Amino acid sequence: MNEKRLKAAEKSFLKRYPGGFKHPELQAIVKKHHKPKLLASVQEAFAAYRFKDTQAVLDSFVKIISQSTVVSVFEKTKLRNVAPSLSDTDRKKIVLALKEMLHGDRLKGFDQLSSQLKPFGVAKWPVLTALLLYYDAQKEVIVKPTTAKAVIDFFEVKDLKYTSTPNSSFYKDYRSLILKMRKMVSPDVAPDNGAFSGFLMMSMEEPVE
């Protein structure tokens, strides 16, 4: 990975936004895209005891994804259209996968959820990872295809190859990359993984050496 490019991006970002994400302009963006009430609702809606009610958890999943600013309108619409037509068996399998992903073996649950959503055409990276980011933005990451591919290319990550089908192997490696990169910069540009991804996106829009 090109560490010099990352440090140059950090320097340029802090010059443009003194204080990083504490800067008023960025604070406004954060409040718009990561509403505190939405994040709080995720913790409550997907608490372990909630999984006793399959339909309620499924409804919460669809609602959170529909409200997410990191998921495309097409992907949101597709999920909303698919949800009502799911069989009871499919509903239970999806919710069990969500439970495993959030409260059990995270990577195992990730693959299970991807497998359950794939037949309906909604196994997309943002759909699977938005909930993880909202649930734990310090440890989990959002995977947006265009951004992930750009990060790998722009920062010259040689040992990581993007895969279009959501899977735990790439997610694990990409998350490790983001966490590693985040440790190399000031907390001002990386208060959490969502903000750090925003920093990377803005940095790649204005190439630095």
Q: Is 14 exposed, middle or buried (0-12, 13-18, 19+ CB in 10 A)?
A: middle
The tens-digit pLDDT sequence of the chain (209 residues) is 999 999 999 999 999 999 999 988 888 777 666 656 677 789 899 999 999 999 999 999 999 999 998 899 999 999 999 999 999 999 999 999 999 999 999 999 999 999 999 999 999 999 999 999 999 999 999 999 999 999 999 999 999 999 999 999 999 999 999 999 999 999 999 999 999 999 999 998 765 54
Q: Locate tokens 């499919």: which residue?
A: 90
Q: Which residues of 114-126 are buried (b: 16+ CB within 10 A; e: fewer)?
A: bebbeebebbbbb
The domain segmentation of the chain, as residue ranges, is 3-20+139-204, 37-135
106: left (phi over 0), alpha (psi -120 to 50) or beta: alpha
